[in-house]
Amino acid sequence: MLLANAGGEFYGRSEALNDKLFIEKDGNFQALKMPENYLHTSIILKDDSPCPTVFGFGHAVSNDFGKLPNAYMFSNDCNAFSAVENDILKSYGMVTDAIWFDMDGDGTNEIITVGEWMPPRVLKLEDNKLKDISDQFIPKVLNGLWQSITSFDLDNDGQEEIILGNFGENTKFKATPEMPLRLYYSDFDANNQTESIVCLNKSGKYFPINTFDELSQQMPMLKKKFNAYKDFAGKPIDEIFETSVLEKARILEVHTTQTGYLKQVGGKWNFFALDDYFQLSPITAFQKIDLTNDGIDELLFGGNYFGLKPFHGRLGSFLGGALTQQGEILDDKVIGVNLFNKAVVNFEVLDFNQEKYLIVVFNDSAIDVYKMK
């Protein structure tokens, strides 16, 4: 059992952040030492070798949002794991999910990762080394607030598409390739503590989403520059901070918040947005499952997210839905689920006593169990 650890209350070289491996022996689990990593691990993958190599990716860095987490690769000689150094894994990105998928059609799967403020990335493992081959497959300007990824044949042509769950279009986060959402990351007030400022593009200028109270609470020096709310109101970020300050900032961008899929067309992978039904909230989970009892799997979608400030509201409008292999939408009433105002974390299918059950796992709520007909 491989246990991925994370938590905002832990930071730095906290032992609680190290991922752990437990081996079953004589009916008991025994801990096997793993290399130190101190990562807020969001997803772990392993290859299919007899002594598998494991890959860990992180979502965030405690007390330093905007800093890009590292990732890790641990090789395995069947006796112990050892860390493999790879520059690609340094400051890798805010990863939320990952899958194995054969992108180049050579019969060997690659790792595809998705995350926030980053594009999908494709990693190829050759001779125990990782190579980033994203440019060969991922369209340009495809940074998103990606939450989930899976593969599924949407048009019954025998070729699986890559389904990407994004933040949706029913939020205050608006982004296009021409007018991307931006995150400015820097120590704006020179107090040895970084800040992150999210900005929207309006008429070519970038305006902070945060209120003056929120910004000045973190950076009190703004109260000296703006003595009244009206002085701050309507100011773009380049009028709030000096050019010399902004030039030191790392800028992360989002080009789309649409949930959609990558499809190979004419030898190239292109991105297509899904129907508005799947844009109501963040899509956080997928499950291949036969919902129509015809022996053919559909793709079940789950979503919703409540981890934002009240200004943004509750992103809980998605009731659940599915797509068939002919691209037909099955809404919540057809498939018999109700996920409204529940933040879906994961789906699992359980076979028990010759019956099949769908288990829906939520954040901060009891699980739901549906009996399949």
Gap between the Cα atoms of 320 and 190, Å rounded: 46
Q: How does pLDDT run across 257-296, given as a tens digit for each residue? A: 999 999 999 889 999 999 999 999 999 999 999 999 999 9
Position 9 confidence tier, pLDDT thresholds 50, 70, 90: confident
- Average pLDDT (190-218) is 95
Q: Do the beta carbons of residue 138 and residue 122 sit within 8 Å? A: yes
The 3-state DSSP class for residue 346 equals strand
pLDDT of residue 373: 82
Give the containing element (helix H, strand E) for 332: helix 332-335
50-71 pLDDT, tens digit each: 889 999 999 999 889 999 999 9
Strands 344-352, 355-362: pairing is antiparallel
Task: Work out the number of other CB atoms within 10 angstroms of the CB of residue 194.
Answer: 18
Neighbours of 7 (CB within 10 A): 11
Q: Does residue 32 have a pLDDT over 90?
A: no
CB-based contact 167:307 (threshold 8 Å): no
In angstroms, the CA 99 to CA 110 distance is: 8
> Which pTM was predicted?
0.94
Average predicted confidence (pLDDT) for the chain:
94
pLDDT of residue 205: 97
Which residue has 């004589």 as its token pair?
26
Q: What is the pLDDT of residues 141-189, one digit of tens each?
A: 999 999 999 999 999 998 999 999 999 999 999 999 999 999 999 999 9
CA–CA separation, 188 vs 107, rounded Å?
49
Q: What is the Cα–Cα distance from 73 to 168, expressed in whole angstroms?
A: 32
CB 71 within 8 Å of CB 95: yes
For 237-253, write each residue's pLDDT tens digit: 999 999 999 999 999 99
Which residues lie closer than 8 Å to 231 by C-beta, 6 or more apart?
Answer: none
Query: Which amino acid makes up residue 120?
Result: P
